[in-house]
Amino acid sequence: MAVRKDEHYDQWETMSEEARENYLASRLRLQLHHVYRNCPAARDVFDTAGVSLGDIDTIDDLSRLPVTRKEDIIRLQEKAPPYGGLVAVPEEDVERVFISPGPVYEIQSADIEWFSRALWAAGFRKGDVVINSFTYHLSPAGMLMHEGLRNCGATVVVTGTGNIEIQLRAMKQLKANGFLGTPSFLMMLIKKAEENGEDFRKNYHLEKAWFTGEPLAPSLRLVFEDDYGIDTYQGYAVTEPGGVIAYECSEKNGFHLIDDYAVEIIDPESGKPCRIGDAGEIVVTPVHNKTWGLVRFGTGDLSRLDRAACPCGRTAPRLTGILGRTGAAIKVRGMFVVPGEVEKTINGIEAITNYQLKVSRSGTRDSIEMIVSLKTGAAEEDVTGLLARDFQARCRLKLDDIKVVPEDFFRPEYKKVDDTRSWG
């Protein structure tokens, strides 16, 4: 089914920057007043930090409050079972409870449309028949995806996880043209069909797929799209604050934020907001979920925020992708260096066969050295010049030195990113 590139789910997706800032600030104030009055855990966050409701006027003001992490939720629910004081409505009004690893009891309302916008942007519409391979038990993914598809008008094939032969039979006989799940599971289905002697592209009807739960590698996206004709999309979802936080549009160049959350990119060490374009931790405060009192939930995921205009017409800022986890990032000259970004820089230069980024410190200054090996015949000067430019553009730091070494320089146990600084 052909879908116009500029077709949007609702008017919220195309708000002006000023309108969005005002809207989110207003929703945030309403949400915080609600959870402070009705949610003991949220009230304790404010009171312990010595912050009043009047101190929080915009998203930037949230930095006055501490970050809440998954281990904090687990501790609260162990101390005050079952919900840890995180429910902002009378317990008899709780609509449904999901259980994520921890365990964490997560409370959600049935009238929230997070997944609808994400799936609409991927082109799901009335007339589509979609395999939903996310689990329907314990965790929220299956049910939330199901509701999102129905809000888009699509027919849902309730398969859940596993049962590969049944999944393939249903996909084929029902002529399913859509798939929801993880990229690895879809590839498993395709390979099983091929093992059974079938031509997947010819014998099946799959046109589009939407993924979350694991990264979609660029190489695998090419296989899906070029070899099998499947239009692929991704969403960034975190179960604790509620579901999808951001999603790809037809441009597939970053993830548009959903306006049901106040999203910050922060320095995970200080908790303070990063400058636009700097890498930091994604921190999320729901502003529409009146049942669940989370404030400033730290996802542990690292990203950057891009406010550049998107040709799709959606005006929400975009996450530039998930760069890694906070524990993997190192801070150099006040900036976070994320191994995932270093890897992307190297992968973009075909002549480089191996590398190590070495961070050291002399006196009061950090030094960054890139050690690389090259393919036979590669022009060293050209490669090092390109590497210096690409590294600075992507990681926003200048390399102090680039050293070219033989391939056998790298031992099996070596670290791709080696921080040799001592803080003792």
Question: Considering the domain boundaries, does residue 33 fall inside one?
Answer: no
**pLDDT tops 80 at residue 109:** no
Which tokens sit at 339? 């191994």
**pLDDT tops 60 at residue 3:** no
Radius of gyration of the chain, Cα coordinates, nearest whole angstrom: 23
Question: Considering the domain boundaries, does residue 252 fall inside one?
Answer: no
Burial of 201 (0-12, 13-18, 19+ CB in 10 A): middle
Burial of 160 (0-12, 13-18, 19+ CB in 10 A): middle
- Say which amino acid occupies 171: M
Name which residue leads in pLDDT, 127 or 393: 127
Tell me what the pLDDT averaged over the chain comes to.
Answer: 91
Residue 410 and residue 356 in contact, taking contact as beta carbons nearer than 8 Å: yes
The CATH number of residue 385's host domain is 3.30.300.30
Question: Considering the domain boundaries, does residue 412 fall inside one?
Answer: yes
pLDDT at position 2 is 46
**pLDDT tops 70 at residue 4:** no
Residue burial 365-404, b: 16+ Cβ < 10 Å; e: rest? ebbbebbbbbeeebeeeebbebbeeebeebbbbebeebeb
Question: Considering the domain boundaries, does residue 347 fall inside one?
Answer: yes
Burial of 407 (0-12, 13-18, 19+ CB in 10 A): exposed
Three-state secondary-structure class, residue 32: helix
Question: Considering the domain boundaries, does residue 133 fall inside one?
Answer: no
Question: Considering the domain boundaries, does residue 388 fall inside one?
Answer: yes
Residue 281 and residue 297 in contact, taking contact as beta carbons nearer than 8 Å: no
pLDDT at position 103 is 83
pLDDT at position 364 is 67
Q: Which of 91-105, 276-290, 313-327 is predicted with the least confidence, judged by mean pLDDT? A: 91-105
Its domain, for residue 413, covers: 330-419
The pTM score is: 0.82
Which tokens sit at 298? 């730290």
Our count of domains for the chain comes to 1
pLDDT at position 423 is 58
pLDDT at position 37 is 97
Which tokens sit at 175? 């002529």
pLDDT at position 384 is 96
213 backbone dihedrals φ, ψ, rounded to 5°: 95, -25
**pLDDT tops 90 at residue 60:** yes
**pLDDT tops 90 at residue 190:** yes
Report the candidate in 199, 236, 242, 191 with the shortest Cα–Cα distance to residue 86: 242
